[in-house]
Amino acid sequence: MSRFLALTSSTGFEQRLTVSLDSRHEVQVLHGLAAHETPADVLSRNAGGPTDVIVFGPDVPLERWFALATAFDVEYPDIVVVLAAPSTAEVTLAALRSGIRDILDPGLDDHLLSVALERAAHTALNRKQTALTDAPEGNRRGRIVSVMSPKGGVGKTTVSTNLAIGLARTAPMGAVIVDLDLQFGDVASGLGLEPAHTITDAVQGSAATDAMVLKAFLAPHPSGAYALCAPLRPAEADLIDPAQVAALVNQLSLEFPFVILDTSPGLGDVVLAVLELATDAVWVCGMDIPSIRGLNHGLEVLRQLDLMPPSSTLVLNFADKRSGLTVKDIEATVGFPVDLVLPHSRAVPFSTNAGVPMLQSGRRDPVSKGLGSLVAKIATGATGAGVRNSRRRMAVS
């Protein structure tokens, strides 16, 4: 059972909220939010047990909600905050920055509203379980490694799949790769897998709350790694929202020492949502002007949003001395050191087409050596997810 506090003066929204929550949950509606009310003020009006979810109604200016949500994120990180408002790109970005975990369109039908509220309750439960797991013996969550690139076609999936294979060797049965390119992901083909289930199955039903059910949806790889592959049909991506993905990644981090995220190109809603949890970022950049400029803009956006993970690694792929660019040129442009240089190699496309990652085949190649160095760096890292969360809260405050 979860306890909801709804902040709204809208009678219509109050009625819909009451109807959409089943009898397993409690809800209390607080009317008349004061102009400078703090989280402590709000919680002092709670007449029941501990609060799990705060629901902001559609009748208060968004700026007020964002300020209050930021304060909740800093002072009460185990409470999930959701917002009832029409979803736009600007609203989504502002909501993510302030710590709001989901946006509920007021026009949702009762069934979809009920599903969204149930999801918020599950997320709150996961947060509380994580807090109990992390204390007092320290952080037990696995490392969440987000492999990213603002531009496509730079070898991001090649890096991700080899990273999963390499980490599975250091931690047998302890690495899982998640394909977050929800429309056109290639993790399955890159690993030579034909999965019976995809991420579409994993974010629905009992898998969203039961770790044993979730593990049944993972595709095992001969290396000892596991994979959660992209939907079979691009249209299924519309059925998966950022909050579901964030909850999924959080759940996997409680079960596996290493969670590798092969993200889609750019900085979409899903990428921003998982960056909130990421302990490590691996940036993959090609040795060409569009790729370098895209990386520079992407890093700038994440710095502004305070979403840079504690540990970052820049991988320069397809390196070629004849390109007219040098490593120093790239570092000067992005303001970031290049950690790993992977040269052009004819073995890479052969590996990709065969569905056998370089680190699985054991072929001697400069690219294999470089990927092995990346695995070693991630495997020996010391930054945990709990550090990421505290860092973000300090920055916000």
SS (H, E, C) 153-179: CCCHHHHHHHHHHHHHHHCCCCEEEEE
Sequence letter at residue 335: G
Q: Classify residue 277 by its DSSP letter.
A: T
Q: Is the dihedral of CA 287, 290, 293, 297 positive or negative?
A: negative
Among 51-55, 113-117, 296-300, where is mean pLDDT lowest? 113-117
Say whether pLDDT at 130 is over 70.
Answer: no
Asked if residues 231 and 200 have their Cβ atoms less than 8 Å apart, the reply is yes
Q: How confident is the model at residue 165 (pLDDT cuts 50, 70, 90)?
A: very high
- The position carrying tokens 């009898």 is 23
Asked if residues 55 and 84 have their Cβ atoms less than 8 Å apart, the reply is yes
What Cα–Cα distance (Å) separates residue 325 from each residue in 294, 297, 313, 321, 366?
16, 19, 20, 7, 20
Q: What is the mean pLDDT of residues 122-151?
A: 70
- % of the chain surpassing 70 pLDDT: 92
What Cα–Cα distance (Å) separates residue 219 from each residue in 144, 163, 181, 250?
19, 16, 17, 18
Question: Cβ of 240: how many Cβ atoms within 10 Å?
Answer: 21
Say whether pLDDT at 389 is over 80.
Answer: no
Say whether pLDDT at 135 is over 70.
Answer: no
Question: Cβ of 194: how many Cβ atoms within 10 Å?
Answer: 9
pTM score over 0.95: no
Q: What is the mean pLDDT of the chain?
A: 84
- Direct distance between the N- and C-terminal alpha carbons of the chain, in angstroms, rounded to an integer: 31
Q: How confident is the model at residue 129 (pLDDT cuts 50, 70, 90)?
A: low
Top pLDDT among 55 and 307 is at 55
In order of their start, the domains of the chain are: 3-134 (3.40.50.2300), 143-396 (3.40.50.300)
- The position carrying tokens 């504690």 is 310
pLDDT at 139: 46
Q: How confident is the model at residue 384 (pLDDT cuts 50, 70, 90)?
A: very low
Q: Classify residue 48 by its DSSP letter.
A: S
pLDDT at 266: 87
Q: How confident is the model at residue 157 (pLDDT cuts 50, 70, 90)?
A: very high
